Amino acid sequence: MNRLKKYIIYILIVLGGGIAFIWGLSFYIIDTTSDEIYSKISDLPISNTVIVLGASVHSDGKLSPILRDRVDTALDIYRSGRAKQFLLSGDNRRNDYDEVSAMKNYLLERDVPENLIFTDPAGLDTYDSMYRSDYIYKIPNAIVVTQKFHLPRTLFIAESLGLNYIGFPAKHKYYETENNLIRREKLANLKAMWEILTKQTPENMGEENPVNRF
């Protein structure tokens, strides 16, 4: 019985330590990136590019509410003159699923010139999107748009890669999956830390395609 009690106590200590580490890492990432997140478009410095991170699209090509809010926010930033062009980074691993084309079509329908829209179909996760934005697209500085709960990890990765990026939260609405996404974000921080510490290189790199320089 004593051995069983010790085993249970050991398991509880390990679990407690793991949970404490996950929460501590989350608070650290939020704290170290807070100065790079803006709340008013009018306060944003003028940047070369606004980067929109992908999210799910429907089978008919329409943007999910989360993705539509990201693109609409980026469009507001562009129209305000705070960013000169777009990089749309998302998942296009399958012929029947294409986040970047859906975003691009959405912007084209709203009269954004095609030559100001760059697309990254291999932005399979946040780390890949940030890494490729520099390695492939040579973006000198950028405003990254995604939901508020996602921005700290995104900017933490960008800063770790030496990128001159700031963040702006997408228009806030309540999403049915938001609570699950927030919980998942804390676990995703562990993955981000591993990718940074091990200096991961995305599998799909391709040729350089520098954005416009203004």
Is residue 8 scored above 80 in pLDDT?
no
Q: Measured between alpha carbons, how far is 55 from 72 in angstroms, rounded to an integer?
A: 13
Q: Please, is 173 exposed, middle or buried when counting C-beta atoms within 10 Å of its C-beta (0-12, 13-18, 19+)?
A: exposed
Q: Where are the domains positioned within the chain?
A: 2-197
CATH superfamily of 2-197: HUPs (3.40.50.620)
- Identity of the residue numbered 13: I
Quote the pLDDT of residue 89: 94
Question: pLDDT tier at 9 (50, 70, 90 boundaries)?
Answer: low
DSSP at 61 = S
Torsion sign (Cα): 185, 189, 194, 199:
positive
Is residue 36 scored above 70 in pLDDT?
yes
Q: Report the chain's mean pLDDT, rounded to a whole number.
A: 88
pLDDT, tens digit, for every residue of 114-162? 999 999 999 889 999 999 999 999 999 999 999 999 999 999 999 999 9
Residues 20-42: what's their mean pLDDT? 88
Residue 165 half-sphere exposure toward CB, CA atoms < 13 A: 33
**How large a percentage of the chain has pLDDT more than 70?**
90
Quote the pLDDT of residue 163: 97
Quote the pLDDT of residue 90: 86
Is residue 44 scored above 70 in pLDDT?
yes
| Paired tokens of 25 | 């890492």
The dihedral region occupied by 61, where left means phi > 0, alpha psi between -120 and 50, and beta the remainder, is left
Quote the pLDDT of residue 27: 87
Q: Measured between alpha carbons, how far is 64 from 46 in angstroms, rounded to an integer?
A: 28
